[in-house]
Structure 1
Amino acid sequence: MKGYCTMIIRNRTRRVLLLLTLVVLLCATAAHADADTKSSITGVNGSITENYKHTASDTVTISPAYGRPVELYLYDEDNRQWLLKKTFLTSNDQQSKVTIKYPDNWKAHAESRWKILVPAADASNSGNLTPAEAAETTTTLHNKFLSCKTAVAMPAASGEILYDFKMDKKRKVASLTKLMTAVLLVENKKLSSKVKIRKSSIKEVRPWQYGFKPKDSMSAKKALYAMMLVSANEVADGAGKAVSGSRKAFVRKMNRRARALGMYRTEYKNAHGLDVGKKQRSGNYSTAYDQALLARFIMTNGRMAPVRKAMKKKSKTIKTRKGRYALTTTNELLGQKGCIGMKTGTEKRAGYCFAGAFHYKGKTYITVVLGAGSESARWSNTRKLFDYVKYAVDHRITAY
């Protein structure tokens, strides 16, 4: 009986030891699992500035790795969603370095947001990795080679975005306004119809009138040259009254036409673009993108041929009832780098602006620069934008 009791005790001891061993193993496994469930992405540059002619890349370290994928996403600002652009693979080691090479889409933006994501993983083939959590981090790529406030570039034919620098930011556009005034003049009046220069027009724009005399008149065709070449403010105001009879009626027509063209962030208050009124703050607002839509319409619509003809002239002499005027374009780039137009705009609060059109490899491209800090900056920014468009076309770069 004594031997039987001793055997029972020994069996119980073995069971207890076995249970303790299992508990220790489970704790060790749990500790190992806890150590491996947290993934990490290290070595990421939160902000990268790169020249668009170069390749942008970043080397990051993934842990645990074991052949896990690394996904690269670009944030689509318009649709507010992340777009998967590229996938990389880690090595089969526990820790792996991966060189993230950014697709060329970043070159089409002044700033672009990117997300690096390592998805959650199941146990690795190596047997060393328990299920791992996902890890992600973000970085911003900078391609700001312009000094103006906002800009955009697009092909006239398709309207796809080749370069976007805050293109939807509302700003004053000064005499780029006259592009819309010219459109409405051509759409509503014959080229032979009269545009009168009234005292009220000169009073409205003083001291920024070109020099046409009160009670003078000219044909709508000549008015296009006066507006497009020398940006004659009194002629623009007279053109508005010729179309609609009054300033208010013409402004309503301008804004309706803007909406019809998809210019939803544009508000016109006069036909010329100057800040007028007691506080000198009632000028016109738009965006680089909206002005590019208007420029694109002018360059592609058959009825706009008279506007295109006027803007391509470097100089033109016109006769009116009261004088003879030698007009010289304010577009210093006309004839350079394939430039065929379009319109300058300058005002204290608007800065120096330019909507440009140029030919490259048989196609027409639109560029808009708003808010440059000086006359020279207006042209240097536009030249840089021209050069970028050529690069983007040659390398087949678009925004998304």
Structure 2
Amino acid sequence: MRQPSFFPHDRQFWIFHGSALALGFAVSALMIYFTGYRVASKLLASTSWMPMYTVAVLCFRWLYLRRAWKQLSMGRLVFIAVGYSAVAGIAMGVLVVLLVAPPFIGDVRAQYQALGMVFDPWRYYVDSFVEQAVQSQLFVCIWCFIYTSVTSMRHIRETELQTLRLQNGLKEAQLSSLSNQLNPHFLFNALNNIRFMMHEDVQLADRMMTSLSEILRYSLESSRHDKVSLRRELAIIHQYVGIVKIQLEERMDFAIRIPEQLHGALVPPMVLQMLVENAVKHGLENLQRGGRLAVDLADRDDCLVFEVCNDTPQQAPGKTDGMGIGLQNIERRLKLLYGELAAILVERSAGKFKVTVTLPKEYAK
């Protein structure tokens, strides 16, 4: 782990710190000017105090980062900040007094004698120390609290941002995983259809292979996007239905009723295609005389309602309704993309199976 540097490389840090020092020095200079008392010693004290103050707060920052104090509870952090500022205040008070008091002690003694007062050098040192120590402790403590507050807020924002990134990454991984579960099933079905036709009609098998290549290209490209235009999805459905019709020897009656003005709407890729494939695999392929498959779309205010209805064999006694793995995967994809705004409903009646999917109406910007 990279160790923190003692001197910050953040330009903004030095701008704020320098501004605070300049403001503090200006206030001190004004107070000294208006009081007119021990001007030279006060100015020297203020000037020498600033680099000591800078070193003190930089030490706190370095310890804060090196010892990972941001992970401590707020109570312990307050205790540490107050204790550190007390120690720093005492050290700065001693240094300032030792630097400033000796050169001016003769002038102070002369002022006391001129006023007819008894001068006690030890009291002079103690009073100067207390003044400098209290002031230093107060300013260091304020700086520590401001620094810890700003750092904590920045850490919270970074944590929230990292959490959002992890959530988005998990969502993308889940969507990719669900899409990858759907695509192999579709691929194997299509290849089986082509293998079947190669023994019947080579030219038809060649056209089916061309259609399959278009479907696979779309599948690979669309896996990189959460949503595609309904127009592209319908084109792939027609390609798929064309392959299936050849295999079923025209025993499939397919109808699709979607208004032209809705072809630009956005939908999750491969969802409608998988609903059609599910209807073929679990419905029409099991009917000796074939059956009907219809895809309808209703425009309802802010929602698009898709209905995929197909003929199906009569349900066996004792068999319960439910969703297969393909429909369950579609439901999970819709929840990941839209949350509660999307819904999927499965209905079974005598010889009919219908899946209704409700999506928010969206268009490309």
TM-score by length of 2: 0.29
Max Rg structure = 2
Identify the structure with bigger relative contact order (alpha carbons < 8 Å, sequence gap 6+). 1
- Name whichever structure is richer in strand by fraction: 1
